[in-house]
Amino acid sequence: MTDPGSDQLMLLCRGRRLLCALPLGALVETMRPLPLTPIGGAPAFVRGVCVIRGTPTPVVDLGALLESPDPPAPMRFVTLKVAERRVALAVEEVLGFRRLGAALALPPLLGGVGRDAVAALGRLDAELLLVLEASRLVPEEVFSLAHGESPA
């Protein structure tokens, strides 16, 4: 799990209007969006599955996961390693890398579908920053659907 109090290098990106940070240790690559195949029965924040480097990979709309309105078309995929699996986040913009420090915390009443994915909240300049926990972005049943398995 991400230690929100540690000083670590993070990838900054935008999921709709939200500024988000992902731990560099989970990052595999960023790329242009690839063609998607929808998955029946998947949660609304799952855009579908695409094949990245020969592997079926679920694609999560970061803005939808965090319940942000006004969905623009994603401009980039950010591929992350989650345990032994991969997931691609559909984001509007990749802003680069930034070292974040101890001024981050998680309020106890954070609500919404994506709340488990948020490890901490903070501020970057004058903007709200959500620090995400890569291992909690995608429920296990989404990986099962992406690989054609029946969810348990």
CATH code for position 124: 2.40.50.180
Average pLDDT, integer, range 132-152: 69
Q: Is residue 151 part of a domain?
A: no
Q: Is residue 3 part of a domain?
A: no
Number of structural domains (the chain) is 1
**Residue 32 structural domain:** 8-146
pLDDT (0 to 100) of residue 111 = 47
Whole-angstrom distance, CA of residue 38 vs CA of residue 109: 33
pLDDT (0 to 100) of residue 140 = 73
pLDDT at 105 over 70: no
Mean pLDDT of the chain: 80
Q: Is residue 2 part of a domain?
A: no
Q: Is residue 81 part of a domain?
A: yes
Q: What is the pTM of this model?
A: 0.78
Q: Would you place residue 5 in the very low, low, confident or very high pLDDT band (cuts 50, 70, 90)? A: very low
Contact 104, 5 (CB under 8 A): yes
Which of 55 and 144 is assigned the larger pLDDT?
55
For the record, the structure tokens of 65 come out as 């996961």
Q: Is residue 135 part of a domain?
A: yes
Q: What percent of the chain has pLDDT over 70?
A: 77
